Each structure stands twice: as C-alpha cells, then as structure tokens.
Amino acid sequence: MRSSTQRSIRFEQALYRRVEAYAASQNRSIADVVRAALEDYLAGRKVLQDSDLRLRRVCEYAQLALDHVIKEDHPEVRDMILAETSARMERYHGTR
C-alpha cells in the first residue's frame, strides 16, 4: 500500500505565483508548501469545530440555568423575555 497519493490541482495564476514565491523563499517544493498549508487548514478547522461545540454547550447550560432562575424567581416576566428574544432573533439574525 502506498503512503501517498498523487493528484493535480488547478491554481489561479496569482495564487500560484504567491505559492511559488513562498516556496522559493523557504527553500521548499511547491508540493511541500501545499501539503503543509492543507495540514494547517484542516488542523485549524478541527480547533474551530471543537471550540464551536464548547460554545454551544456553554450556551445551552446558561440558557437552562437562567430559565430555571426565571421560572423560580420571576415567572411573571418569562413570557415577555421569550417574546423579546424571538423579536431580537428576527431583527438581528433574520431567524423565523
């Protein structure tokens, strides 16, 4: 089984010139620069996905905790808060 796979990639000319210049400045091959860029990009995506999941978990926790406090201590304002939340979601995020 081979440890690598060969593929062709099309570049816009301006991007290719930038990659070529960078590879030359680092004394590396274009293929090495492209491989490293893809590794960095995919690693960065993983970090963003992990961070996004953490943020979603924290938001869910905060929403549950706050809803509990409102139900217990201020039930009279809960419906108003939910209505205002819906209005703001529509206004700022275009959410239905």
Q: Which domain holds residue 89?
A: 13-93
- DSSP secondary structure, 25-73, as one string: HHT--HHHHHHHHHHHHHHHHHHHHHHHHHHHHHHHHHHHHHHHHHHHH
Write out pLDDT tens, residues 53-92. Answer: 899 999 999 999 999 999 999 999 999 999 999 999 999 9
1 pLDDT above the threshold of 70: no
Residue 20 covered by a domain: yes
Number of domains comprising the chain: 1
Asked if residue 7 belongs to a domain, the reply is no
Residue 59 lies in a domain: yes
The pLDDT, as a whole number, for residue 23 is: 98
pTM greater than 0.85: no
Domain membership of residue 32 (yes or no) is yes
Taking residue 16's Cβ as centre, other Cβ atoms within 10 Å add up to 13
Residue 53, in any domain of the structure: yes
Q: Is 2 a domain residue? A: no
